[in-house]
Amino acid sequence: AQTVTQSQPEMSVQEAETVTLSCTYDTSENNYYLFWYKQPPSRQMILVIRQEAYKQQNATENRFSVNFQKAAKSFSLKISDSQLGDTAMYFCAFMRSTSGTYKYIFGTGTRLKVLA
Amino acid sequence: KAGVTQTPRYLIKTRGQQVTLSCSPISGHRSVSWYQQTPGQGLQFLFEYFSETQRNKGNFPGRFSGRQFSNSRSEMNVSTLELGDSALYLCASSSDPGGWGEQFFGPGTRLTVL
Which of B9, B47, B103, B109 is best to mutate for the A interface (most A CBs within 10 A)?
B103
pLDDT of residue B97: 57
pLDDT of residue A109: 94
Q: What average pLDDT does range B16-24 have in this prediction?
A: 98
Asked if A7 reaches chain B (Cβ–Cβ under 8 Å), the answer is: no
Q: Which residues have a Cβ under 8 Å from the Cβ of B43 and sit 6 or more positions away?
A: A91, A106, B35, B36, B37, B90
Q: How far is CA A116 from the centre of its chain?
A: 23
Euclidean distance between CA atoms B17 and B14, whole angstroms: 6
Instruction: Using the predicted structure, report yes or no on whether residue B99 has a pLDDT greater than 50.
Output: no
Q: Which of residues 51-90 of A touch B (CB under 8 A)?
A: none
CA-based nearest distance A18→chain B, Å: 25
Euclidean distance between CA atoms B2 and B40, whole angstroms: 31
Going across the sheet that includes B5-7, the strands are B5-7, B19-24, B74-78, B64-68
B103 vs A109: CB contact, 8 Å cut-off? Answer: no
pLDDT of residue B96: 65
Asked if A101 reaches chain B (Cβ–Cβ under 8 Å), the answer is: yes
Report the half-sphere exposure of B51 (CA within 13 A, side-chain side).
5
Instruction: Using the predicted structure, report yes or no on whether residue B76 has a pLDDT greater than 50.
Output: yes
pLDDT in tens, A35-94: 999 999 988 999 999 999 988 899 999 999 999 999 999 999 999 999 999 999 999 999
**Cβ proximity of B70 and B52 under 8 Å:** yes
